[in-house]
Amino acid sequence: MTAASRPAPPVLPPHVVAFRWARANLFSSPGNSVLTVVTVVMLSFAAFQAARFVFATAEWEIIEANRGLFFTGPFPRDEFWRIWVLLHGTAALSGLSWRLWGSLDLRRPLAFAAACVPLYIFMLEGDALILTSTCIATFAAAYFAAWPVRFSRFRDRARSTTVWLWILGFMAAMLPTALYPSFLPGQGGLFSHVPDREWGGFFLTMVLATVGIAVSFPLGVLLAIGRASTFPVIRIFCVAYIEMIRAVPLVTILYMSFFILRLAIRHETSVLGIPITGYEMSVVFMAMLGLILFSAAYIAEIVRGGLQAVPRGQVEAGQALGLGGLQVLTLIVLPQALRAVIPALVSQFISLFKDTSLVFILALTDLLAVARIAPAQPGFIGHHAEALLFIALIYWVVAFSMSRASQQLERNLGVGER
Amino acid sequence: MLLTVLSNERVRRYLFQAVFALVILVFGYVLIANIQAELEGIGLEIFPFVSTKGSFPFIDVSADFLDQRAGFSIDQTSFGFDYSASDSYSRAFITGLLNTIQVSIIGIAIATVLGVIVGVSRLSSNWLVSRVATLYVETFRNVPLVVQLIFWYVAVFLKAPRIGDSLDFFGIAFLSVRGLALPEVHGTSGFGTWFIFVAIAIVVAGAVRYLLTRRQDETGQPSYPWWGASGALLAIAGASFLILGAPLDVDSPEVGRFSYEGGMTIRPEFTALLFGLSIYTASFIAEIVRGSILAIPKGQTEAAQALGFNGSQRLRLVILPQAMAIIIPPLTNQYLNLMKNSSLAVAVAYKDLFDVGAVTINQAGQAVPLVALLMAAYLSLSLTISAVMNGIYSRLKWRSARQ
């Protein structure tokens, strides 16, 4: 009624709208106009050079010919099924989680996936194509299987079940390795043993990142609690550890792990008759340990900020309800503290993911190492740029998706809206 | 009896801490004893810097192996430090340390300038400029630094043309696979004298600023103390420069057959490291700058507008002083990160502290003391940067508290 009585805004022809938009956003002042023109010139030059490289100069055969190397390094072909099982499990759980927690707006993620289509076409053929398709189908099946649960009264139970499935799945995935670590004698059994020096490529990068995140996060939370504790001995130890680790580069920590801690673990010692050291550890394990020790210090510092942000009244309210110290910590303080620092935590996880590339100094064959080896093959000599740009794209896609996911998580948990 | 004692809260606290300390001590002891035992097996000492023979404090930095001939060359040294392949490991170590310091200082300067420009651009009202700045940040932040470093080194600077076909930047600078050639500025005979004049100019400029600020405070009329001070500085320094007959000699590089003649040549390893470090760190600094400016309440800008301040005055007198207090702590972290990340020089074969350490470990086989030495060196560099930045921060807080 009011809408009808008011004259409708005139519908402007599109070129007028575009003109007004350009005047407001690109040419609002003489300075801005100059800036726009200069930027356009520079951008076109850069875009032209980039397009010329991608479509004319570059020879992308180096990527096509080394697909396996990029994804799994020297991993034995006969054992690829393990990785596919892992991927299908991850796809199923991701599908479930997406439906249970994720945003209902699928436009952006789908647009992102569509943008990656050239990558799939380029990378996949034969078995890999079929198995990747079944992976995507598994994801979709899990997503739609969880469809009715999202708004039902079973949602919370479904969510906690999913969390447990993730934890159990992670442990199940680690089990074959934990059962046959290189320090235990004896081979065979249910599965043959794939020594971890045969792990490589993107697979190794993801293993290092996942284990690193999964282990360094609880360790970092413990360190942060220790730093905030009222026990001076524990506090001093935690402060010393955190500050010491944060003051040195990761490469020195990796060296320390590889050259010093490995010696310490190798020598046999028992305390009270229990052998606590005396194991020959693999390089991958020592690299993981280095990454975990390093990342835990940074996570502790982030969580400390979160702990400080929880008002004192929350603790007092918990005590007034008759909760004990541990209950106040785990039920009241930690959930609020962690929720407040999600963005910082995720950027630390992204850092850890990117930092896995530093294991090249321990001569491991991770994604970066593959990109350094591939251009040394006959036929591909000197094509460093192609290999490096390709892995840069992979790192970028993963890191960027993680940062977007964290923004989504933040929105869902309603941080900063109250 | 035992139960009564244990029910006492304080006793329990002490007991808990004692157990914790005991576990840590046993753990540390086992760690060190194991390392020592393993090293003895191959005839090495755990920490050869501590001698039981010498006098207090028993620290003997010139441990035997550090005095041995290093035997590897370092193509580029910093701050005019001399090093040749026949020098000792300890001298190589110092050369590496100086190289780390140099690349960190230059990198911090470039990253700060670039980061501020990109950060402010992201807030620009110009749609295109803010989009380009966003693209920059999202691209460089999400790719590992070491990938970027290797890319700059292998795919850009080592793919530069041969020296005969050097890229010519207006005849001033040249770029080829040999490196980046820049003009070098030398002081001639009158340079020392001119330096005294510059010192005088700085003192005079300080006095001018003080007097003009006082006049401004007393009269309330703007008397532009910073313009006055800069004018005085430029006038005295410039006039004495001309009177002394321009005591600076610019040595421009020329393209020779195998290397550049004259000027200074920056090797591709260094250029790649500097490029990578500054561009990567700038993307993080840009986010810090943007966040800090956004954190200033909009009311501050409006209040400044109401007082009749123009755009640059608003930024300079109202927004930036407040943003600085928010910027400095995270900025310090980025400076520390840049310094620590310079250890990735090992990926582009630039002889920084870590690279020299890695080569020495390979050659001399003394991994344990060398890793400890490397960590100690980085620790002290970190502490220095933290101390400097904390000094700046407390000075800033003190000044804003006074006003």
**Which pLDDT score, from 0 to 100, does residue B267 have?**
85
For B257-322, the three-class secondary structure string (H helix, E strand, C coil) is CCCEECCEEECHHHHHHHHHHHHHHHHHHHHHHHHHHHHCCHHHHHHHHHCCCCHHHHHHHHHHHH
Q: pLDDT class for B278, splitting at 50, 70, 90?
A: very high
Which chain B residue has the Cα nearest residue A268?
Answer: B34
Q: Which range is least confidently modeled, A127-136, A253-262, B76-85, B385-394?
A: B76-85
**Which pLDDT score, from 0 to 100, does residue B243 have?**
80
Q: Which range is least confidently modeled, A147-151, A299-303, A312-316, A340-344?
A: A147-151
Q: Which range is least confidently modeled, A53-57, A318-322, A351-355, B96-100?
A: A53-57
Q: Which of B33, B155, B343 sits opposite A249 (nearest CB)?
A: B343
Listed residue (B33, B374, B41, B368) closest to A264, CA to CA: B33
With a cut of 50, say whether residue A313 has pLDDT above it.
Answer: yes
pLDDT-above-70 percentage for chain B: 93
Helix (H/G/I), strand (E/B), else coil: B249: strand
Q: pLDDT class for B294, splitting at 50, 70, 90?
A: confident
Q: Same domain, yes or no, for B101 and B208?
A: no
Listed residue (A122, A162, A126, A131) closest to A145, CA to CA: A162
The rounded distance, in Å, linking the Cα atoms of A397 and A353 is 12
According to DSSP, the residues that pair with B176 across neighbouring strands are B179
To the question of domain A194-376 being in CATH 1.10.150.120, the answer is no
Give B-chain residues touching A384 at CB under 8 angstroms.
Answer: 150-151, 154-155
Residue B328 domain flag: yes
The rounded distance, in Å, linking the Cα atoms of A391 and B148 is 11
Cβ separation of B30 and A354 shorter than 8 Å?
A: no
Query: What length does chain A have?
Result: 418
**Which pLDDT score, from 0 to 100, does residue A418 have?**
40
Mean pLDDT of chain B: 84
With a cut of 60, say whether residue A190 has pLDDT above it.
Answer: no
* Domain enclosing residue B373, as ranges: 89-183+252-402
pLDDT tens digits, A123-161: 666 777 788 888 888 888 888 888 888 778 888 888 888
Q: Same domain, yes or no, for B219 and B344?
A: no
Q: Which two tokens stand for residue A137?
A: 């189908």
Q: Same domain, yes or no, for B231 and B364?
A: no
Q: B279 and B114 in contact (C-beta within 8 Å)?
A: yes
Q: Which two tokens stand for residue B203?
A: 């003192």
Give A-chain residues touching B125 at CB under 8 angstroms.
Answer: 25, 28, 32
pLDDT tens digits, A326-369: 888 889 999 889 888 888 899 899 999 999 999 989 988 889 99
> What pTM was computed for the model?
0.85
Q: Which range is least confidently modeled, B28-42, B79-93, B225-239?
A: B79-93
Q: Same domain, yes or no, for B256 and B347?
A: yes
**Which pLDDT score, from 0 to 100, does residue A184 have?**
45
The rounded distance, in Å, linking the Cα atoms of B224 and A223 is 52
Residue B239 domain flag: yes
Per DSSP, helices labelled H in A248-379 are 250-255, 262-266, 283-309, 312-320, 325-327, 334-340, 342-355, 367-373
Cβ separation of A368 and B144 shorter than 8 Å?
A: yes
Q: A348 and A298 in contact (C-beta within 8 Å)?
A: yes
Q: Same domain, yes or no, for B153 and B263?
A: yes
Q: Which range is least confidently modeled, A170-179, A212-221, B8-17?
A: A170-179
pLDDT tens digits, B350-369: 989 999 999 988 888 788 88
Burial of A78 (0-12, 13-18, 19+ CB in 10 A): exposed
Q: Same domain, yes or no, for B162 and B199?
A: no
Q: Same domain, yes or no, for B93 and B134?
A: yes
Give A-chain residues touching B354 at CB under 8 angstroms.
Answer: 249, 251-252
Q: Same domain, yes or no, for B29 and B155?
A: no
pLDDT-above-90 percentage for chain A: 23
Q: Same domain, yes or no, for B127 and B149?
A: yes
The rounded distance, in Å, linking the Cα atoms of B246 and B241 is 5
Q: Same domain, yes or no, for B212 and B277?
A: no
With a cut of 50, say whether residue B77 has pLDDT above it.
Answer: yes
Average pLDDT over residues B240-261: 77
Give A-chain residues touching B154 at CB under 8 angstroms.
Answer: 384-385, 388
Give B-chain residues touching A364 at CB under 8 angstroms.
Answer: none
pLDDT tens digits, B88-139: 888 888 899 999 999 999 999 999 999 999 998 888 888 888 999 999 999 9
Q: pLDDT class for A192, splitting at 50, 70, 90?
A: low
Rounded to the nearest 5°, which phi and psi values hold at B260?
A: -80, 145
The residue among B10, B31, B40, B100 with the most chain A CBs within 10 A of its CB, best to mutate, is B31
Average pLDDT over residues A263-276: 82
Q: Same domain, yes or no, for B98 and B33?
A: no
Q: Which range is least confidently modeled, A4-8, B67-71, B281-285?
A: A4-8
The rounded distance, in Å, linking the Cα atoms of A197 and A180 is 13
Q: Which range is least confidently modeled, A180-184, B190-194, B225-229, B325-329?
A: A180-184
User: H/E element holding B185?
Assistant: strand B184-187
Torsion of CA B341, B344, B348, B353, to 10 degrees: 100
**Which pLDDT score, from 0 to 100, does residue A197 have?**
76
Q: Which two tokens stand for residue B34?
A: 């194991």
- Range of A86-90, A277-281, B142-146, B259-263 with top mean pLDDT: B142-146
Q: pLDDT class for B49, splitting at 50, 70, 90?
A: low
With a cut of 60, say whether residue A181 has pLDDT above it.
Answer: no
Q: Same domain, yes or no, for B274 and B385?
A: yes
CA distance A254 to chain B (A): 10
CA distance B36 to chain A (A): 8
Average pLDDT over residues B147-166: 86
Q: pLDDT class for A186, splitting at 50, 70, 90?
A: very low
Of the two residues A117 and A351, the one the predictor is more confident about is A351
pLDDT tens digits, A376-398: 888 888 888 889 999 999 899 88
Cβ separation of B144 and A233 shorter than 8 Å?
A: no
With a cut of 50, say whether residue A188 has pLDDT above it.
Answer: no
Residue B142 domain flag: yes
Cβ separation of A357 and B31 shorter than 8 Å?
A: no
Please say whether the dihedral angle defined by the alpha carbons of residues B6, B9, B11 and B15, taken in this order, is positive or negative: positive
With a cut of 90, say whether residue A194 has pLDDT above it.
Answer: no
Residue B69 domain flag: no
Q: Which range is least confidently modeled, A151-160, A170-179, B59-68?
A: B59-68
According to DSSP, the residues that pair with A355 across neighbouring strands are none
CATH of the domain at B112: 1.10.3720.10
- Range of A193-197, B188-192, B197-201 with top mean pLDDT: B197-201
Split into its structural domains, chain B has a count of 3
Torsion of CA A160, A166, A168, A170, to 10 degrees: -160
